[in-house]
Structure 1
């Protein structure tokens, strides 16, 4: 029996990692987190930020590696699920590179035949900036909304096809995990990844 897969998609500091931890702590099953932070921890400095490359075409020299890195990550997600593990992956999908790369539809095609719930993690930019300013950790912070942050807000939810959407400005990580558990128990049809795979 294959495991379940939950892909959390949203901008940096939107709360994806906190939701993933809440899922691991509160949902039945053995949830393995194979998101952007896990992958980037394995990469050499020359490939960073890997799949975390920001929208706007800032590093065209790295873009050639990004489709392969996403493909390898999704292959790993699929492999764990086929071994019966549940997988949560916190990611920031966008197609705002120096040229379109079509990564999200390609990743969706990798998941054919697997149980995938695609979750849009939304958060108002004001809340994201408050979180950044409270704990910058190397992120762009300060007054106003820096352009990189604005680009993430605009690019990460295109085309916006999800099975479930969560607003972390009003929902705690535990409440988000509960909503995900309910969606897993009663999955919407047709599934978002099936629709994305046809794009």
Structure 2
């Protein structure tokens, strides 16, 4: 794509937008903490909401005074903080994901670049959690979100449109975990009793993608 094409003047995902996204996630997690905890109480340890709330509160503190020119520094700091501050499975999984996204964003990103960064986050989750689509995990929301973002970006969609498509896909993916039997994590110990419940990790993943879409459209 040449610099004089219309897309060249489109907004890019930069450091301030990355920080706004993380702050939006923290606010959304605070608002939805009880719901995430209720979902986790049905098939897990009942601490998903509180763990994420504690983690993103720590992230906000870590970001104070950080004014980087690139989004990678914001997201890498986010991931490192989540790994060190959040218990259970969600801290390492989301921490590694954000660190991978940050590593893939050395500078302001266009839709295609951000799509591949989000794909790197998914790869990190799958590598650590050893989970595949259909296992009733974070992966079930993250996988369709990345696919939708890539498709929209390839079609020339601007960042807000691509992110909205990804958020819609993530929310569908989270809902689609309801009839699944868990094959990974604490929920897998329940066997068939895990059927009929929405996965809390897929739900928080959908929340993360929805906040990205909202951040990019404001």
TM-score range, shorter chain: 0.3 to 0.5
TM-score normalised over the length of structure 2: 0.34
TM-score normalised over the length of structure 1: 0.37
Greater share of residues in helix: 2
Which one scores higher on RCO, CA 8 angstroms, separation ≥ 6? 1
Greater share of residues in strand: 1
